[in-house]
Amino acid sequence: MLTRIDHIGIACSDLDRTIDFYRTTYGFEVFHIEVNEEQGVREAMLKINDTSDGGASYLQLLEPIREDSPVGKWMAKNGEGVHHIAFGTADVDADAAEIREKGVRVLYDEPRTGSMGSRITFLHPKDCHGVLTELVTSAAEH
């Protein structure tokens, strides 16, 4: 099942400026930057720490590259801020199926590609007490 908090996703309007804030204020350094065309974001992963299961915990900074992307639409309503929380799992497929059986809506029928080659899916925030929740299997695990 779920093994760690993989990351907290933070929507921002200026990725470079937001990276600078986290670097200057907290000393967090960029671990990875990429553009995810499918999700419509430019993103940075700032590594917080390693975890006992061999994974890590990150802050994921998300700058929409299109207004019609999920993060772009979310920001139009909410502005910058915490967008989602992601839990790490060794098997996103099995855990998503188990959670779906408990009545929680899983937003993707099949997991998609996420940051750093991970496999991801999301759980509907209305079924998770208002929190958009992501399940992540890192590339090293699949």
Q: Hey, which residues are catalytic here? A: 7, 43, 60, 84, 134
Q: What phi, psi does 14 have (nearest 5°)?
A: -140, 100
Distance, in Å, from the CA atom of 115 to the CA atom of 101, rounded to the nearest integer, reads 27
Contact 67, 41 (CB under 8 A): no
3-state secondary structure of 84: strand
